[in-house]
Structure 1
Amino acid sequence: MMFIIEFFRVRGTDEAHAILDRVEHDATDLEDVKVRALSLFETLDMPQKPDAVRILDHTGEEVFVWGPERPSA
């Protein structure tokens, strides 16, 4: 199944999200994508450091959100 991993910044005043990068990842299950997303969170070269990462499934539905200051979904 294809997943989209999004890395984003969160504006403190209104919680608006600014996407820094998107990565497609083909995996058999969500756990595999979570491992990949968290690895990329620390290593992917982006113009700014992201505040959080989210994973969307093939339908565009959010299935996971994580950030150092946010609880796991």
Structure 2
Amino acid sequence: MFIIEFFRVRSTDEAHATLGRVEHDTPDLEDAKVRAQSLFETLDMPQKPDALRILDQSGDKVFSWGPERSSA
């Protein structure tokens, strides 16, 4: 199980504001990455996200991605 979080980043101090969360029930991180990037453009949220992160079932960040960033 993974939690996909979509967020905005405030440019002045890099603070993150979460716009939405989606649970994705898969044991495979690669599958969660594909799903997250697919939802990035299509999920209906109050604002357009700047980036996303994927958390494991313990709440630890295992992946982050944005059109201009990428890290594990």
The aligned residue for residue 45 of structure 1 is: 44
Q: Normalising by structure 2, what TM-score?
A: 0.96
Instruction: Provide the C-alpha distance between the structure 2 equivalents of 1:67 and 1:6, rounded to a whole number of angstroms.
Output: 12
User: In structure 2, what residue type is equivalent to 1:62?
Assistant: K
The aligned residue for residue 71 of structure 2 is: 72
The aligned residue for residue 59 of structure 1 is: 58
Quote the offset at 1:41 in angstroms.
Answer: 0.2
Q: Normalising by structure 1, what TM-score?
A: 0.95
Q: Give deviations 1:5-63, integer Å, cap 9, x for gaps.
A: 00000000000000000001100210000000000001000010000000000000000
User: In structure 1, what residue type is equivalent to 2:29?
Assistant: L
User: In structure 2, what residue type is equivalent to 1:16?
Assistant: A
Please give the secondary structure, in 2, of the residue aligned with 1:20. Answer: strand
Instruction: Provide the C-alpha distance between the structure 2 equivalents of 1:34 and 1:71, rounded to a whole number of angstroms.
Output: 11
Instruction: Provide the C-alpha distance between the structure 2 equivalents of 1:53 and 1:71, rounded to a whole number of angstroms.
Output: 10
Instruction: Provide the C-alpha distance between the structure 2 equivalents of 1:70 and 1:10, rounded to a whole number of angstroms.
Output: 12
Q: Which residues of structure 1 form unaligned runs of 5+? A: none
Aligned length: 72
4+ residue segments displaced more than 4 Å: none
User: In structure 2, what residue type is equivalent to 1:67?
Assistant: G
The aligned residue for residue 14 of structure 1 is: 13
Matched, 1:3 2:2: yes
